[in-house]
Each structure stands twice: as structure tokens, then as C-alpha cells.
Structure 1
Amino acid sequence: MKIYADPITINCRKVLAGLDLMQAPYELSHVDYFKGEQKGDAYLAINPNASIPAMVDGDLVLWESNAILQYAADKTGSETVYPRDAAQRADLNRWLFWESASWFPACYTYLVENCVKPLLGGAPDDNVLQANEVQFHKLAGILDTRLQGRDWVMGSRATIADIALAAPMHLHGWQKLPLNEHPNVRRWLMHNVESLPSWDKTWVGEGFTLERTLKKAA
């Protein structure tokens, strides 16, 4: 599998962390998001949506990050991260659809306003943030209820659902996501997801950096 991605973005990190979780081999082709390389003719021939990531595996070309994870899990036989049981798979798929349709946009507003705009010299729009709050808390409450008494979305093991749902929150501190009202989401994200080796391996920091700096002791 060849993955076209920029590891700094939400959906690209999602795919890379998910592939690492299932230990799927892949080749990474870097597509620089801030340089707009996803809009170039060569990439548009792969994904006419001009969005990343995309995957090429032989004759198969896939866009949509969750579809890539589903395919890779099936190809590698990774049933622990994507169960084959019909009921469990339907349950998991529901969270993938919910993430892309509802959860991603609710979290992305905070990323744009509190991260991207200031980085480009602008300022957050408080009206936009306030208008998004009700929807965010409604959705975070749904996820919080799901995580009550659970270590992971599907129970006792991390799956691609956890990776997908955590991805839009991957810069939660810099994003200023209002998580204090949702203790189960905080616990799951900060203690469970962030302790996964696959999540740590795909770390992204404030400023969309992939370089970690060690703080020197005073």
C-alpha cells in the first residue's frame, strides 16, 4: 500500500496511526498540505477531491481516511482492530460514519479558529466558536456516554474506531477543546489513546510540528 499523506493533518495522522496499530506495511509519499501539493495535477489524478490522504494498492485507488483503514484492516486480517462479527462491525462502522459526518466538523472548528488562523497571522472568531459550542457539547456528551465504564470505544481493546474518533482531537490543548464537562472522553483520550505506541509514533505538536524538543532542566 502506498499512502499519499502529510502526517500533520488530522485525517493523515488517523491513517498512519491506524496502520501502525494494525502493523500494516505501507510506503509513505509525502504531500505537503501547506504548500498545496494536494491541488497539483499529479495528485489530482489520484484524488480529484484535492484532499489527503489517499491510498494506491495495485489497481485500487482509495480516498477517505476511514475507508482506507477498513480496507487495510481487512487486507491484513486485523480482526482485533476491525472485527468481522456482523453486529460488532456494524457498531464500529457507525462510529466511523459519525466521526466523519459530525464529530470531525465539530472539532475542526476549534482547530481552524484557535490553531490555523493565529498561525497565519489572524485571530479566532469568537462568534464562530460560540456558535459551535452547543453542537460540540452535544456530540462530546454522546461519546462520553459511550465511554462510561469502557477503556475503549468497542470495549477492552483499541480499534480503528478509537483512532478515528481521537484524530480530530489530536491537538486538543492547542485547539482549546472544552473537554472538562466530558470526563470519560478526557480519560480515554489522555490516558488510553495517548499511551498507544502507534499514537505516540505519529505525534504532532503545536505549530503542526513533527519535531519534539526536549526541555532542559533549569
Structure 2
Amino acid sequence: MEILADPITVNCRKVLAGLKMIGSDYTLTKVDYFQGEQKSPEYVAINPNASIPAMRDGDLVLWESNAILQYAADKAGNAGAYPTDLKTRADINRWLLWECGSWFPSCYVYLVENCVKPLLGAETDPAVLEGEAENFHKLAGILDNRLATSTWICGDSPTIADVVVASPMHLHGWQKLPLDNHRNIVRWMTRNVEAAPWWKATHVEEGFKLPEAA
């Protein structure tokens, strides 16, 4: 499997952390996000959305980060990361869809305003953050309620649902996500996700930089 990605972005970090959890072998081809390489004709021929990541495995070309992880888990036969039990898998798929349709867009507002804009020398817009606050707290409340009765999102062991849902908040401190009233999310993120080897191995440091070892 070849992964075309820039590890500093949310969805690329998601895929790399997920592949670590799954135990998949892959090669990484860097596509520099800040240099706009995802918009090059060569890359758009692979992913017409001009977004990263993408995957090539033989004659299969796949984009959409969650689909890549579903495929990789099934290919590896890792039923721990992506259980085959019908109800458990439906639950995981529900959270994967919720993340891309609702959770990611909300967390992304904080990422842009509090991380990307300062990095590019632009000003954070408090009105944008204020406008997103109600929606963020509604969504965070949904996740917090699930984690009130579950160690991980879909049970007592981590699955790709945890990687997927954690990824949009992977810079939560620098994003300044308002998590004070969502203690179960804080517990899950700081004690469970951030302590996991698959998460540590793909850690992104301040300034969107990877550790030198990576």
C-alpha cells in the first residue's frame, strides 16, 4: 500500500495513526499541503478532489480517509480495529459518518482560526468562533455522553472509530477547543488516545511539525 499524504493534516494523520493501529505495512509518499502539491495535475489524476490523503494498492486507487482505514483493516484481517460483528461494525460506521459529516467541520473551525491563521500571520476572528460554539457543544455533548459509559467509543478496546473521531481534535490544545464541560472527552483523549502507541508514533508538534524521529 502506498499512502500519499502530508502527516501534518488532520485526515493524513488519521490514516497514518489508523494504519499503525491496524498493523498495516505501507510506504509514505509526501504530498506537501502548504506547498499546494495536492493541486498538481499529477496528484489530481490520482485524487480528483485535490485533497489528501489518497491510497494506491495495486490497481486500486482510494481516497477518503475513513474508507482507506476500513479497507486497510479488512485487508489485514484486523477484527480488533474494525470488528466484523454486524452491530458493532454498524456502530463504528455510524461514528465514522458522524465524524466526516459533523464533527470534523466543527473542530476544523477552531483549527483554522487558532492554528492555521496564526501560522500564516493572519488574525483569529472571534466572531467565527462564537458562531460555531453552540454547534460544537451540541456535538461534543453527543460524544461525551457516549464516553460516559464506554472506555473507548465502541467498547472496552480501541477501534478505528477512536482514531477517526480523535483526529479532528489532534491539536486540541492549540486549537483551543472548549472542552472544559466535556470531561469524558478529555479523559478519553488525554488518558486513552494520547497514551496509545499508534497515536504517539504519529504525534504532530507545535507549528504542525513531526518529531525528528518520524
TM-score range, shorter chain: over 0.9
Aligned identity (percent) is 64
1:146 alignment counterpart: 146
Q: TM-score, normalised by structure 1?
A: 0.96
Structure 2 SS opposite 1:210: coil
The aligned residue for residue 34 of structure 1 is 34
The one-letter code of the counterpart of 1:55 is M
Give runs of aligned pairs for residues 57-76 of structure 1, distance below 5 A.
Answer: 57-76=57-76
Residues 155-166 of structure 1 aligned to structure 2 (within 5 Å): 155-166=155-166
Partner residue of 1:91?
91
Normalized against structure 2, the TM-score is what? 0.98
How many equivalent residue pairs?
213
Q: Report how far residue 93 of structure 1 moved.
A: 0.1
- Tell me the equivalent position of 1:115: 115
**In the alignment, what sits opposite 1:135?**
135
Displaced runs of 4+ in structure 1, greater than 3 A?
none
Q: Give me the whole-angstrom Cα distance separating, in 1, the residues matched to 2:28 and 2:71.
A: 17
Shift of 1:121: 0.8
Q: Cα distance, 1:196 vs. partner?
A: 0.5
Aligned-pair distance for 1:171? 0.3
Q: Deviations over 1:36-86 (max 9, x none)?
A: 000001101100100000001111111000000000000000100101111
- Aligned residue number for residue 172 of structure 2: 172
For residues 212 and 157 of structure 2, the distance between their equivalents in structure 1, rounded to whole angstroms, comes to: 28
C-alpha RMSD of the superposition: 1.0
| Cα distance in 2 between the residues matched to 1:7 and 1:115 | 16
Structure 1 unpaired stretches of 5+: 214-218
SS of 1:19's equivalent? helix
Q: 1:211 Cα deviation (Å)?
A: 3.0
- In 2, Cα distance between equivalents of 1:129 and 1:13: 24
2:118 and 2:193 mapped to 1: Cα distance?
Answer: 27
CA shift digits 1:114-158 (9 cap, x unpaired): 010111111110110000000000000000000013210011100
Q: Structure 2 counterpart of 1:210, which letter?
A: L
Amino acid at match of 1:189: M
Residue correspondence of structure 1 range 101-112 to structure 2 within 5 A:
101-112=101-112
Report which stretch shifted further, 203-212 or 79-88: 203-212
Q: Which residue of 2 aligns with 1:12?
A: 12
8 Å Cα contact 1:205/1:212 also seen in 2: no
CA deviation digits over 1:3-40, x for unaligned, max 9? 00000000000000000001110111000000000000
| SS of the residue 1:29 aligns to | strand
Q: Distance in 1 between matches of 2:26 and 2:45?
A: 20
1:106 maps to amino acid? S
In the alignment, is the contact (CA less than 8 A) between 1:12 and 1:65 conserved in 2?
yes
Structure 2: unaligned runs, 5 residues or longer: none
Matches within 5 A, 1:176-215: 176-211=176-211
